[in-house]
Amino acid sequence: MLARLATDRHRLNDVDGLLFWRLLGTGRGERTSPGADLRRSALFAVWRDEASLDRFMNSDPIAARWNRASEVWHVRLRGLGGHGSWSGFEVLDGLVAGAAGGAVVILTRAKVRRRSWRSFVKAARTVDQTPSRSAGLLGVVGIGESPIGRLGTLSVWASLESAREFARSDAAHVHAVASARADDWFGDELFARFEPYGASGSWGGTDPLAATQAR
- Quick one: average pLDDT of 77-96? 94
130 has pLDDT over 60: no
| pLDDT at position 121 | 81
Domains and CATH numbers, the chain: 2-213 (3.30.70.100)
What is the DSSP code string of 85-153? -BTTB-TTTTPPBPPTTS-EEEEEEEEE-GGGHHHHHHHHHHHTTSGGGSTTEEEEEEEESSSSSEEEE
| pLDDT at position 150 | 78
Rounded to whole angstroms, the Cα distance separating 14 from 6 reads 14
pLDDT in tens, 21-48: 998 988 887 766 666 788 888 999 999 9
Q: Which of 62, 74, 54, 71 is CA-nearest to residue 8?
A: 62
pTM for this model (two decimals): 0.87
- Better pLDDT: 183 or 189: 189
pLDDT in tens, 48-59: 999 999 999 999
Strands 18-26 and 41-47, bridge-based pairing: antiparallel
Strands 73-84 and 104-112, bridge-based pairing: unpaired
| pLDDT at position 159 | 95
Q: Which of 104, 103, 12 is CA-nearest to residue 62?
A: 12
Buried b (16+ CB within 10 A) or exposed e, 96-120: eebeeebbbbbbbbbbbeeebeebb
1 has pLDDT over 70: no
Torsion-angle region of residue 45: left (phi > 0), alpha (psi -120 to 50) or beta?
beta
- Quick one: average pLDDT of 3-15? 75
Rounded to whole angstroms, the Cα distance separating 152 from 160 reads 19
| pLDDT at position 6 | 60
| pLDDT at position 137 | 92
| pLDDT at position 192 | 96
Running DSSP on this structure, what letter comes out for residue 33? S
- Quick one: average pLDDT of 147-170? 86
213 has pLDDT over 80: no
